[in-house]
Structure 1
């Protein structure tokens, strides 16, 4: 399976960006060029069922939306590994699984990862497929207009059946396979305080971006980049 990718920059170091559920590489509109300015060749993937990547209804079938298959597809899109890899929400799940499956990553950054342990009602997420521009803006008041436009375009291409990747809930990773930083929203609904303590005990470094929502890089781009200062 070949994922659609987008590249910024041509540096000697490689940064891999993995978006969250419902999004695609466009969510990194500001992050990609910023990392390219730091000397990276930045690769943004579209996960299966997102952007211009293969659909579960195509020749690969519904198995395309299993977490292992997503992780292997991402590893194939970055065959020589990455100096730093950043995954947001679902992208964090995929990144963490890819490192366990052997993808070479020097440093991993997990942005408000969807490591829930409890079952959740996915119906609201499925309904969000049809959110209007006004509804997106109201739900994300800190986003700039370009981010809202990107979300509209991403939702138009998103296959809601990708939600099956969250069933059952993945839970917290057992250990940090690579040097790993977890960036947290303030507060984080996905990683509550007790889970944060467990992650620290399991070898993860944690940082909170004050006031940021789940999509940290779109809520507070300067805060997001500042939190990455000694990681990317």
Structure 2
């Protein structure tokens, strides 16, 4: 877990698959400068959190809920973290929710992927996330590369496999709290068509041109600008 700032106005930050709380190393201080106590959680099998080869979505939700003792004013989830956040909403009761580059595609209807195939995919993804390889990504800073490579090295494949095998997805309904979706532009995950569908459901949807999946890497000012605009709109 990482914390920036102080006070009772909490912003809860939830990272994505193969990540860690450290991926918010710029967003956390930016939120603290805006008066929040930013709290970033490590999900099971990530960062400093325990591994669990029997992991389920409920376990991931428990991990998120356990780091705050009051409903956060703001909750931000990236990719997998956005999905976990959506499941945690009834218990968290945040004032506002932000979902970063996630399509909320609903339950899977295709054939189930085997544990062996998932393990192979996650192992390959972990091995590919070295500082040297990440340094080829446009706009990423040296610190972005370092924290992502370190998070990947600590990532537990078996925990992720268990989560993927136990989770089939869920249908997204109209947001229960004011909700923003921030997408990369172009995005591999949230197409323009899906963005329009989410807007029709009641989400605000905004894009950050030129950003990658980890939208704020290399685009912190643009990301925070979108957030400021949405928060200022009430």
TM-score normalised to structure 1 length: 0.87
Quick check: 1:143 aligned with 2:140? yes
**In structure 1, C-alpha distance between the alignment counterparts of 2:132 and 2:168, rounded to whole Å:** 30
Q: Is the 8 A contact 1:11 1:36 kept in 2?
A: no
- Match 1:93 to one of 83, 86, 92: 83
**Structure 2: stretches of 5+ with no match in the other structure:** none
CA shift in 2, pair 1:81/1:158, >3 Å:
same
Query: How has the CA–CA distance of structure 1 residues 187 and 103 changed in structure 2, closer, same or farther, with 3 Å as cutoff?
Result: same
* Partner-residue secondary structure (3-state), 2:92: coil
SS in 1 for 2:30: helix
Q: CA shift at 1:69, angstroms?
A: 2.0
Q: Is the 8 A contact 1:85 1:108 kept in 2?
A: yes
Does residue 107 (structure 1) correspond to residue 96 (structure 2)? The answer is: yes
Instruction: Indicate how the Cα distance of structure 1 residues 163 and 68 shifts in structure 2: closer, same or farther if over 3 A, else same.
Output: same
| Aligned residue among 14, 17, 20 for 1:21 | 17
Change (3 A) 1:142 1:169: farther
Q: Which residue pairs with 2:7 in the alignment?
A: 11
Distance 2:186 2:127 in 1: 27
* 1:31-66 C-alpha deviation (Å, 9 max, x unpaired): 111111111111110001100111114xxxx1xx31
- Distance in 2 (CA, whole Å) between partners of 1:79 and 1:104 is 11
RMSD: 2.0
Shift of 1:170: 2.3
Query: Partners in 2 of 1:166 and 1:115 — Cα distance?
Result: 15
2:39 is matched with 43
Find the aligned partners of 2:80 and 2:30 in 1 and give their Cα distance. 22
Whole-angstrom distance in 1 between the partners of 2:171 and 2:229 = 25
Output the CA distance in 1 between the equivalents of 2:18 and 2:103: 13
1:124, distance to aligned residue in structure 2 (A): 4.0
Mean alpha-carbon deviation: is it higher for 215-224 or for 116-125? 116-125
What is the number of residues matched between the two proteins? 220
Distance 1:197 1:92 in 2: 18
Aligned to 1:198: 197
- 65-74 vs 44-53, which moves further: 65-74
Whether the aligned pair in 1 keeps the contact of 2:103 and 2:194 (CA below 8 Å) is no
Q: Compared with structure 1, are the counterparts of its residues 115 and 160 closer, same or farther at alpha carbon in structure 2 (3 Å cutoff)?
A: farther
